[in-house]
Amino acid sequence: MELKQYLEQTANKVDSLIHQHFGSACDDLGRASAHLLLAGGKRLRPALLLLAADAVNRGSSSNVVPAALALELTHSFTLIHDDIMDGDTVRRGVPTVHTQWDEPTAILAGDVLFATAFEFICLADVPDNAKVRATSLLARTCVEICEGQHMDMSFEEQDDVSEGEYFKLVEKKTGALYAAAAGIGSILAQGNPRYTDALFRFGQGIGMAFQIQDDLIDLLAPPEVSGKDQGSDLRKGKKTLIYLKAREKGLDLAQFRGHLSPDQIREIVSRLREIGVIDEVQETAENFVRKGIQRISILPDSEEKSLLIQMGEHFIRRSY
């Protein structure tokens, strides 16, 4: 099976569960909670969890589908809260939750999804001790995501952010949830500790690459492709790897903070390409994927292992 087909099948499975559990909300809070879930999405974290489960114990994914949905609920909770803090108005091609409703409702909607995620972990048809370990990992992951988001916000007013600090932010903000998806998949499938650790590190590596690629997409992709505001990071002065690499080469992107027209964004992108920033950032993302793939070399060869490798490579080739 090709990765595209697997991801489509997984997305359909997750979408079906989302509509079943969240599609008929009749009150404002319920609709706000379901808003981004029902707007679609690639469902990459659930797919990673299911692939990890089958990579260590083929056939086990059918018992852990609720846990896969839990990862999507966690992701959606972080998006709602991030959009409030970042002031973004568009997500997945629809108005953000705080724009469609209001900030208090959006905060509560995120809280609902956060709590419901743990409920769905517990619905997996696996031994209780595995569910306890998976729940503990998800809880720790949520703390790390919050720490990462706080770092992201504090970096906006910090002039001397280093690449090391940026990588720590990315590890927490994005790498942590992908690491949890792969690790929880292995835990629930009764994978041995070596396999679980390898999959956790794999998820962390490709998750960090995913965020770096996301930074590139934010700058390079128009809204009709990405479903987001183009150049959002640039306008807010976010210390992305693009920002840090440009600074090393004498181009201070802080001067472009504020309103930018599409023509101005194109001019900035052209300059970044000329001085090699885009290529260097892309290479960094590719290195994280390569290291992640090396981590899972200990897994037995299987179709699922091949799909995991394809997923890592997909993360640095996607354009939205």
Tens of pLDDT, residues 35-84: 999 998 999 999 999 999 999 999 999 999 999 999 999 999 999 999 99
CB 126 within 8 A of CB 61: no
Number of domains in the chain: 1
Q: Residue 211 carries which side chain, given as an amino acid letter?
A: Q
DSSP element (H, E) containing 90? strand 90-91
The DSSP output letter for 158 is -
For 233-255, what is the mean pLDDT? 91
Q: Is residue 275 part of a domain?
A: no
Q: What percent of the chain has pLDDT over 90?
A: 80
Is the pLDDT at 226 greater than 70, yes or no?
no
Q: Is residue 229 part of a domain?
A: no
Domain of residue 35, CATH code = 1.10.600.10
Q: How far is it, in rounded angstroms, from Cα 273 to Cα 281?
A: 11
Residue 300, number of CB atoms within 10 A of its CB: 10
Q: What range defines the domain where residue 28 resides?
A: 3-210+296-315
Q: Is residue 59 part of a domain?
A: yes
Q: Is residue 288 part of a domain?
A: no
What residues contact 154, with CB distance under 8 A and at least 6 apart? none
Nearest-Å Rg of the Cα atoms of the chain is 19
For 177-197, what is the mean pLDDT? 97
CB 163 within 8 A of CB 29: no
Q: How far is it, in rounded angstroms, from Cα 52 to Cα 54?
A: 6
The DSSP output letter for 189 is T
Helix axes 176-188, 128-155, angle to 10 degrees: 180
Structure tokens at 72: 């999507």
Query: CA-CA distances (angstroms) from residue 218 to 67, 214, 224, 238, 295?
Result: 30, 6, 12, 11, 29
For 171-198, what is the mean pLDDT? 97
Q: How far is it, in rounded angstroms, from Cα 188 to Cα 196?
A: 10
Give the global pTM: 0.93
Q: How far is it, in rounded angstroms, from Cα 7 to Cα 74?
A: 19
Is the pLDDT at 260 greater than 90, yes or no?
no
Q: How far is it, in rounded angstroms, from Cα 158 to Cα 243?
A: 13
